[in-house]
Amino acid sequence: MAKEFKFPDVGEGITEGEVVRWLVKEGDEVKVDQALSEIETDKAIVEIPSPYAGTILKLHFKEKDIVKVGQVLVTIGEKGEVPKEAAPPGQPAAEEKPVPSPEAPAPGAVLATPKVRRLAQGLGVDLATVRGSGPGGRITEDDVHGAKEKRPVAEEKKPAVKVKTKFDFYGNIDRIPLRGVRRATAKRMAESVSTAAHVTHFDEADVTELSKLRDQMKAEAEAKGIKLTYLPFVIKAVIAALGLHPMFNASLDDEEEEIIVKKYYNIGIAVDVPDGLIVPVVKAAEQKTLHELAQDIQSLAEAAKARTLDLADLKGGTFSITNVGAISGEAATPIINYPEVAILATMKIADRARVENGAVKIKKTLPLCLSFDHRVVDGAEAARFMRDLIKFLEQPADLAK
């Protein structure tokens, strides 16, 4: 009997993925756990194994298609068997009968957080028709998504023919599909700016002594095959500052209306790849030496560029750092890696003229830009955090441990 294999939830928060390539074709015989396809989801490419043995009767998506969790990916059965057509997303299969939805709560009695209300508005879902599954009948994000999926497909009107030209009124254009890393980045950035209240605080650290210390330690690191950049020192300083200002090492639970303060330090490191931005996470960074941090950063960056990161490498972050200055720049307003509370952009380290005791001196300085969620922390606390971060960077001896 033909069996439909639906695209599974391959990780926390995953809702969809792009079919990068099929490893099988219709008519092929497959074994249990044999890889069927490579799917890019949440900035990582994963192989999807078969849960069944048999013949590939139908591949329901083409390469470059977007497949959502719960949609039928492939039908597997006996050779010569005719597969049934997969039901549209959110609709029952041909032989199944839809389950009547429970009676919805009366208008005016809707219990939902502002985030859930914004989600419902964006999806066109009337919260008055949704029964909440949360505490006290509160409507959750899953309830809204479920209500959206139950709406008849007929409501979604699509043009029969869509013509895409290669020119506009002014001249020729190129159309580049929003896919893969760029698509995931776009969605996460849009979610962040539409949810968190972004504010950016700018400051500067004198890293003259830190530069000297790094130069002294580079040879020892290179002998171990480690490239010692400034970033491990920055991570050490950030962790020390987070210890004094724990609200920056937190997330906001909109559903429960609670601030979740993390007692561990998992630092996300933004990596620039050809088609977007990937943020692997250095786990338990507070437990690692400077050389261990440098090694982790190097390994994660190489894996990100080779697209060999595991999904686990992208999760669990508590605070992120983006080293914009590795390319260029004096200032930036980085977007928070939601649901984290803050992100630090380190800019270009350079010799700059600064006044000290009434005299102009050349100092090696590091511009710092901290974006934070003003719903969780205030500007004064951000200024204190940056003050302490600068203190640790300007007295770097303890960072070398």
- Asked if residues 122 and 98 have their Cβ atoms less than 8 Å apart, the reply is no
DSSP string, 281-309: EETTGGGS-HHHHHHHHHHHHHHHHHT--
Which of 145, 198, 201, 374 is catalytic? The answer is 374
E strands, 50-183, in order: 54-59, 66-68, 72-77
Distance between CA atoms of residues 156 and 219, nearest Å:
63
According to DSSP, residue 13 is labeled: T
DSSP string, 66-84: EEETTSEEEEEESTTPPPP
E strands, 82-223, in order: 198-206
Confirm whether 145 is a catalytic residue: no
Distance between CA atoms of residues 105 and 92, nearest Å:
24
Question: What DSSP element (H or E) covers 239?
Answer: helix 231-244
Q: Kindly state the tokens that stand for 211.
A: 């530069």
Q: Which residue has the tokens 């013949």?
A: 55
- Asked if residues 5 and 76 have their Cβ atoms less than 8 Å apart, the reply is yes
Distance between CA atoms of residues 318 and 114, nearest Å:
23
Question: What DSSP element (H or E) covers 195?
Answer: helix 180-195
364 three-state secondary structure? strand
Q: How many CB atoms lie within 10 A of CB 161?
A: 4
Query: Annotated active-site positions, please?
Result: 374
